[in-house]
Amino acid sequence: MHPTSLPGRFGIGEMGAEAYRFIDWLAAAGQKIWQVLPLGPTGYGDSPYQCFSAFAGNPLLIDLEPLVEEGLLEGGDLDSAPSFPEDEVDYGRVIEFKIPLLNKASRAFHARASGSEREDYDDFTARHADWLDDFALFMAVKGAHKGAVWTRWERGIAQREPAAMEAWRRRLREEVEAQKFQQYLFFKQWEALRNYCHERGIVIMGDLPIYVAHDSSDVWADPELFLLDENGDPAYVAGVPPDYFSATGQLWGNPIYRWDVMARRGYGWWMERFQATLGMVDMVRVDHFRGFEAYWQVPAGESTAMNGEWVKGPGAQLFEVVEAALGRLPIVAENLGVITPEVEAIRKRFGYPGMSILQFAFGNDPQGPDFRPHNYPRERVAYTGTHDNDTTVGWWNSTAATGSVRTAEDIRKEREFASKYLATDGTEINWVLIRTVLASVADIALYPMQDVLGLGTEARMNLPGRPTGNWRWRCRRDAMTPALAARLKELVTLYDR
């Protein structure tokens, strides 16, 4: 469950009381891993896979209550909160409410911080200067340009001309400091929350997207690392060919890396990225792992991902270099989709466990047989479904939709096979799948919170290929009951989890 999905009064999950309550509930349920999506500041479509930075945290997750206690905000500031929906995140309204308050808190902090508080803040900004200085200026300048993509800014700052950089830093000094202060708060609160998890025997699995957004401080700060045209726009974009999710493929729109440049630089950017991510979480799912062996690139301007081509990536060399510097990486490889023997060879060489999705085990997915529990190796992370799947209840009750790769006959056969394999008539199908992955030999078993709650398609987190309306689901406060915790605890005890 992503932190944005936590309950709370300000329209989005925060790193506050409800997050700590959730961790207590996990501990009572005998759970040992909390998996989250990327934690960065979201951009286009509110997607955590389209962030303004690969290193920064999402300020919308900041708990506002301590800012009142510290005198940086007034109680009335929070009392003026509008009425937010309980079941989903309305990102636009949340941003309108929270960001002005975080800016107000920044002004108060910089006006009257004590010596020790200022020292702590200065220490944070110095330790993270490699990415924070660029990110803070990027966001401030982006705000001054009414949110425009960086290639549409004034030429001097878009091209990072030294004189323009200095002029914009002076002009937007307060806005830059506000961005840095938000990151200071985020990392301070996240570290406390993570420590609380550790105290209760829970580790956090993060998520490292293979690509970064074009409209990000990462691309603006170092465009030579990406395949861009003369205007700074992507020459090619990332995606995947037609698959289980989409008959026309998935066109993600992220710029493609210049792997030759990254190799010449000793993969330093990737070293910094892995180091930063593992400074925030304990283990990490590497998204689209197969893209390191070969990636699907599509000419910019295409409307679908169909007219692309496979291009060789850095392969094992990247992980050799990074592990030589950082030691063994606690990685889970997202090896879904068109997986070749070459991809699996890299994963196995470094001992990274792959994933098996139980929802994919019964239909036409080419990996279906590998996803059936009787074929699992022990070095596997077994899921009922992921953030890209429908919920288990939604999957079971699904019908053929327009544009879907699954026909009504496909669904009938899939359900018939699943019924026989799982020995079920579909009653409490969510618990049938949860029990199945827990009973498997896979070292790790994971399931979305929506499956624990038995929710339908209305609670789906993401529909790949749908540009808007994703990443919105929220858990109701009264959903995390002691009875649910006891039921999970019984299962993990039964299967020695």
Chain centroid, CA 92 distance in Å: 19
Taking CA atoms, 60 is separated from 41, 134, 179, in Å, by 8, 20, 12
Chain centroid, CA 312 distance in Å: 25
Decide: 262 and 270 in contact? Cβ < 8 Å: yes
Residues with catalytic function: 287, 334, 388
Task: Find where tokens 């909390």 sit.
Answer: 34
What gap in Å lies between CA 201 and CA 102, rounded to an integer?
A: 32
Phi/psi of residue 4, nearest 5 degrees: -60, -20
Tokens representing residue 418 in the block: 């699943």
Edge-first strand listing for the sheet containing 331-333: 33-35, 203-208, 283-286, 331-333
Pick the closest to residue 465 from 248, 236, 209, 302 (CA basis): 248
At a CB cut-off of 8 Å and minimum separation 6, what does 75 contact?
68
What gap in Å lies between CA 341 and CA 337, rounded to an integer?
A: 13
Decide: 447 and 437 in contact? Cβ < 8 Å: yes
